[in-house]
Amino acid sequence: MKLLTVVNVALSVRRATLLQTKQDPGEHVRQYVARLRGLASVCQCSKMGVCTTATCSGTVTIDYTEDIVKLVLLNGLADEEIRKEVLGTTEIDTKTLNETVCLVDSKETAARAMVTDNLRVAASSYKKMGRGQPNQASPRNNTRLRRAGQDEMQDTLPMWISHSPVR
Ligand SMILES: [Zn+2]
């Protein structure tokens, strides 16, 4: 863990690190939020203030860790499509951090299922091409089959790529 060395660094540097932390491609949002919480725990995301209750003259601590982590999380989502969808969700502003994580999680799960479906389609079309094909098939036939297979792969690949962007 980097945490111990990070504590010796100026607060502003730790905060800057938190703000810059993006989700790694392929990283589950629950892992990502755990990383952010770890970073936020040494960022003093709270303030002391005077209690505004009429009968009270004490002080209160306002902790805004959840708001900061939610903001950084939304900003740093690796999948641009998921990020746009989540930011476009009605009442995203009033969702708690946990609710936001659940929302992202469901979208990531759906995206992964779509990738699996696409791979299954691609795999089964390869199987179909290979099955029952005689060894001494004419070269012309082979070329046509190969080209058909490539076209199918091209149909399925873009969606796959869009859900696992490489930076
Ligand atoms: Zn009070």
Distance in angstroms (rounded) separating the CA atoms of residues 121 and 127: 10
Planar angle of CA 51, 71, 95, nearest 5 degrees: 75
- For residue 5, report the distance from its CA to the centre of ligand 1, in Å: 36
- For residue 64, report the distance from its CA to the centre of ligand 1, in Å: 18
Helix (DSSP H) and strand (DSSP E) numbers for the chain? 7, 2
Q: What percent of the chain has pLDDT over 70?
A: 73
Name the stretches of the chain with pLDDT < 70.
Answer: 1-7, 130-167
The token pair at 44 is 């003093």
- For residue 97, report the distance from its CA to the centre of ligand 1, in Å: 26
**Phi, psi angle pair for 157, to nearest 5°:** -65, -45
Instruction: Give one word for 15, left, alpha or beta, with left for phi > 0 and alpha for psi -120 to 50.
Output: alpha
pTM, two decimals, is 0.66
- For residue 110, report the distance from its CA to the centre of ligand 1, in Å: 46
- For residue 50, report the distance from its CA to the centre of ligand 1, in Å: 8
Terminus-to-terminus CA distance in the chain, angstroms? 24
Q: Hey, how many other C-beta atoms are within 10 angstroms of the C-beta on 121?
A: 14
Q: State residue 167's pLDDT score.
A: 42
- For residue 117, report the distance from its CA to the centre of ligand 1, in Å: 56
Write out pLDDT tens, residues 22-44.
999 999 999 999 999 999 999 99
